[in-house]
Amino acid sequence: MQNLELKISYTELENENELNEQEKALMQKAHQSCSLAYAPYSHFFVGAAILLENGITVCGNNQENAAFPSGLCAERVAIFSAGASYPNVKIKTIAITCKSKFFLVNQPLSPCGACRQAMSEYEMRYKSNIRIILQGETGKIRIMNSISDLLPFMFVAAELKK
């Protein structure tokens, strides 16, 4: 038996004022999208904004449904929308934020496993890392330069071809 250690790399900023102008604008769009989420059951609102290589921004937010789990997370709404509307354009960056009706979210929360796997599919599809910027309603920001920092043992399509 061998015990191994896994390390991830990320950057932490105090607030969005430390982002460059393009990333700051992307995070602001994620916050705006968060406010438009349909979350009448959880009252937990998530917004995502994706910057494509061609400069276009695609936004998404969580969409809940009384027939749980028929809803969809903000990250996948945005990613699938980008993939459907701009199928040959790489995703450069995704900014994700969240807020709750019941408490202040003052720290970055990371995407669920299904969203992480969806992001990994697009990294593999375009053979290009996706920069991930996370922030709660307020407070610190975490930045990862690839989904592999959030999902180091991702399911890889190439493994299906063996």
- Domain 11-147 superfamily per CATH: Cytidine Deaminase, domain 2 (3.40.140.10)
Quick one: pLDDT at residue 162?
61
Report the alpha-carbon distance of residue 74 to residue 70 in Å, rounded.
13
Which of 16, 23, 64, 75 is catalytic? The answer is 75
Total-model pTM: 0.93
Quick one: pLDDT at residue 126?
94
Any catalytic annotation for residue 159? no
Mean pLDDT by 10 residues, the chain (162 residues): 90 96 98 98 97 98 93 97 97 98 96 94 94 97 94 75 66
Token pair in block for residue 141: 């920001």
Quick one: pLDDT at residue 154?
76
- Beta-bridged to residue 58, according to DSSP, are 50
- What are the C-alpha distances in Å from 137 to residues 44, 53, 145? 11, 27, 21
